[in-house]
Amino acid sequence: MLPDERLGELEHFMDLASKSGHELRAYDDALDFVAGRRDADRRVAKLAQLFPRGAADPKLRGLLKAPLYPYQAEGALFAVRAGRALIGDDMGLGKTIQAIAATEILARHFGVSKVLVVCPTSLKYQWQSEIMHFSGRKGENAARVINGGRAQRQRDYALDDFCKITNYEKLSPDLDLIAAWAPDLVIVDEAQRVKNWNTIAARALKRVDSPYAIVLTGTPLENKLEELISIVQFVDQHRLGPTWKLLHEHQVKDDAGRVTGYTGLEKIGQTLAPIMIRRRKSEVLKQLPSRTDQNLLVPMTEMQMLYHQENADVVARIVLRWRKTGFLSDKDQRRLTCALQNMRMSCNSTYLLDQDTDHGVKADELAALFEDLFAEPEAKAVVFSQWTRTHEIIIRRLERLGLGYISFHGGVPSEKRPALVERFRDDPACRVFLSTDAGSTGLNLQHASTLVNMDLPWNPAILEQRIARIHRMGQARPVRVINFVAKGTIEEGMLSVLAFKRSLSAGILDGGGGEISLGGSRLNRFMKDVENVTGRMGEGEAVTPAEEVRNIGAAGDAGSGEDANADLNIEAGEMTLIQADGAGASPREVGPNPWQALVQIGEQFVAALAATHDPSAPAHPWIERDPATGAQNLKMPLPPPETARQLADALSALADSLRAKIA
């Protein structure tokens, strides 16, 4: 036993002992521990010199391009002091900005020059955007998203970047590349999404070596002891001691040996205090602004991008025609309006354009957001979309999660509307109010404090009307507004130039103008707005079919990880199962109905197969053509292993039944 105050003398003692001829055994883990404590003491001393007033120090105000609230500055300093830390604040308290602030302190004062961010696929571009926005770092080397095949990722890891952003499922195949790059700091976001930490991704993460680490999770950890243990092991492998001992001390079991609860959690909290900081919203309520707005960038799937690009090509041809002639017929104007709307609808899901499919990321991200948000018993949310079909895909996720909801749209009779609002206000089980813009005026929904825009209206005035449903007199809590924006699409173009804000364009494209017939300066203004929006859509990489497989039979919440990704390769009449090297956009658990997965796979397989025989059909993302021979290959995603097992069991039982009847 060595008292903390004597750690600094250990090195001198070891030197004396070795010179005196005594046998001395010093194991690497013990030396690493002592070195870590010594480094921590030096960091604490240096931080006290740099920021003598702690979280209230004026120098912290200019650290980022946005001011830090006192609790955020405290969180950033805590992470730097600890060196390896877990920030477990409630959702909406800005864990990302705390991690970025801690990164900047470590970069400017403690020699950190390589940062690896590990997050769900759907959040990679969001991290890139926020690092560049808040840190003020410019250029591709500031924050690079790791994408593409193995060769592309090798090239990306060879580049001299400050920050690289990857996803959980790329960790295992890229461990050698990460080790060669040797990050100084690893930031792990949405750690709770990998619920089963005994997965390939989780095991790979524990093998990523770095002096500093910051883990971010908003899910209450005290109810999930096994998950907490594994997450903490990445931060500090010795902190909680042997897992069997910890579980034995804190698990409560019934007579059959089933775990029914936990006890003595306050002791675990005390043990974690040096490495974990957790603030609840109620604790920092006075520091929060009355309203915060967040644009959440999400990727598109390949099928979505196909629909989006087809309509973008129509828009480009019509814009080119207008440039040449300065005139558009009524027919072209209607085609243009329709194509623009189709581009927007494809950003939510292919279901809005083709009800036989549902390819999209937004609804699953919303489900993941709700899982965090509704950990707070009284939390409620309002979700806006211009289209009722968006409601339908959201309702599927809500029903899988067992969440009560209201669906409000123009088809709801006026006499029934007050009862719907009352139910949302008074029924604790009714957590979500889904609304089209029919509910953007005249409704008082201030018992919710979170508003999600699945799609942005053309007219900012309509956007503010939506927000005013909850951000109004009588609202006792800070309001959080989240706008889902599809990366590399018309939505990003709308966001970047704030075009279509004039009442003319807004009326036409928000459904208020019906058919249009423009000419002269009105047409010119309209077309220039179209050019501005479609010309600034940005770039984005589509989620591949192997990555999208998590949606098939998905329950809408987190799951096992990359081992769920597999492809079916059908070539020259042969069928083989191959493991996919693909990243899942936040893995999900398997849903309760394997037949649903089989039906959906079958429908998609038939659609892909039909495309191979129709030269006029648009390119299908599952079809690959050999450039040398012209032979076509069909690669389709399979469901996660648990769903596949359920399907195999069900089909096997069906086959046995049929054989018995034949016999």
Each residue's pLDDT tens digit, 254-267: 888 888 877 887 88
- Give the pLDDT band of residue 573 (cuts 50, 70, 90): very low
pTM of the predicted structure, to 2 decimals: 0.72
Residue at 33: amino acid letter: F
User: What's the rounded Cα separation, in Å, for the pair 385 and 438?
Assistant: 10
The region of weakest confidence among 112-121, 124-133, 224-233, 501-510 is 501-510
Closest-CA residue to 555 (of 582, 591, 583): 591
Cα dist. 315→252, 310, 343, 448 in Å?
63, 9, 10, 39
Tokens for 320?
């080119």
Q: What is the mean pLDDT of residues 99-107?
A: 97
- Measure Cα distances from 316 to 134, 309, 500, 505 in Å: 34, 10, 17, 18
Question: What is the CATH code for 293-534?
Answer: 3.40.50.300
Residue 510, burial from CB neighbour count under 10 angstroms (0-12, 13-18, 19+): middle
Q: What is the mean pLDDT of residues 600-619?
A: 59
Question: Alpha carbon of 244 to those of 226, 240, 251, 265, 402: distances in Å?
Answer: 10, 10, 10, 16, 33
Question: Which segments within 265-364 are labelled E, that is strand?
Answer: 276-277, 291-298
Cβ(289)–Cβ(281) under 8 Å? no
CA 158 to chain CA centroid, nearest Å: 26
**What are the helix (H) ranges across 562-618?**
594-612
Per residue in 300-339, pLDDT tens? 999 999 999 999 999 999 989 888 888 888 888 889 889 9
**Contact by Cβ (8 Å): 562, 200:** yes
Per-residue CA distances from 283 to 93, 288, 475, 554 (Å): 11, 10, 18, 35
In this prediction, residue 26 carries a pLDDT of 87
Residue 627 pLDDT more than 60? no
Angle at 504 between CA 498 and CA 509, to 5 degrees: 70
* Average predicted confidence (pLDDT) for the chain: 80
Domain boundaries, the chain: 1-49, 51-288, 293-534, 545-662
Q: Which amino acid is at 327?
A: F
CATH 3.20.20.330 at 51-288, yes or no: no
Domains 51-288 and 293-534 share a fold: yes
